[in-house]
Amino acid sequence: MTDLRTILPKIPNEPGVYRFIDAQGAVLYIGKAKALRKRVATYLREGGPAEGRIAEMVARAVDVEWVVTDSEQEALLLEDSFIKRTRPPFNV
């Protein structure tokens, strides 16, 4: 399993959209953030999510991709577009 925490320093702390990716390159989950690094870090804290679908998603993820936007509003629109296009299994 890849330690996704090694990716955190590379993620900017700006608004944008993040995607958790599995070993086959499929998008597992898409989210938006006012501060990308802080938001992604909440998934990757020591101990991580205790249980449930988020814990399963983080366990299956091997990479995180992100797109920086100019604002939270732009991130919201981009997130919606990405979700509609890819229909990730962990987005409800």
Alpha carbons 53 and 72: distance in angstroms, whole number: 25
Q: Please state the length of the chain.
A: 92
CA angle 35, 43, 4 (to 5 degrees): 95
The order of strands in the sheet holding 16-22 is: 27-33, 16-22, 61-68
- Residue 17 reports pLDDT greater than 80: yes
pLDDT digits (tens, 9 = 90+) for 31-52: 999 999 999 999 988 766 667 8
Q: Decide: pTM greater than 0.85.
A: yes
CA-closest candidate to residue 27, choices 51, 68, 61, 74: 61
For 51, other C-beta atoms within 10 Å of its C-beta total: 8
